[in-house]
Amino acid sequence: MAQTPTTWQPYLTKLTQVAPAATLANGAGFLSAAYGSDTPNPGQSIWADLILITAYSVAPTAGSSISVYVLPSPDGTNYPYGGTAQIPDSNLWIQDFHVLAQTASQTDVIRRVELPPGLWKFLIWNATGQTMSSGWTMDIRPYSVAT
């Protein structure tokens, strides 16, 4: 049986930029606004690349991390636990951004994050040992996959 090739569609319009005005303390999280992942064409999946840009006043430990979780709302109303002071269940973890031991601006990318149907939120959890400077951002760049 021949397999149908996968076709990556171009980036859709940038979904959003998670851009809080405040710093993010070590051992704390930031919960994004709710987003929806409406599929633009039948038979396509929606994926996203996540681009984190951050800096620090005091250099974090090399290899420490900023974790990203997705909190889906299958019923459109209720979300699983997790927030600014509570890490959600591990099955909602997407991946970690790993940081360098420097105070200068750092950029990292997580590729191929499958976005759930319906409404969802991102939780960004700082476990770097240092406070992330104000002005940090995470871009969500959605794209589709057609087979």
* pLDDT score, position 21: 73
pLDDT at 138 over 80: yes
Q: Of the ranges 23-27, 34-38, 43-47, which one carries the lowest mean pLDDT score?
A: 43-47
* pLDDT score, position 12: 61
Query: What is the average pLDDT across 73-87?
Result: 89
pLDDT at 41 over 50: no
H helix intervals, 12-87: none
* Distances in whole angstroms, Cα of residue 127 to Cα of each of 15, 41, 68, 95, 109: 26, 38, 11, 13, 17
Whole-prediction pTM: 0.84
Please name which of 37, 48, 44 lies closest in space to residue 147, comparing C-alpha atoms.
Answer: 44
- Provide the β-strand partners of residue 71: 121
Domains with residue ranges and CATH for the chain: 7-146 (2.60.120)
* pLDDT score, position 74: 86
Top-confidence residue, 20 or 77: 77
* Distances in whole angstroms, Cα of residue 32 to Cα of each of 9, 35, 43: 26, 9, 28
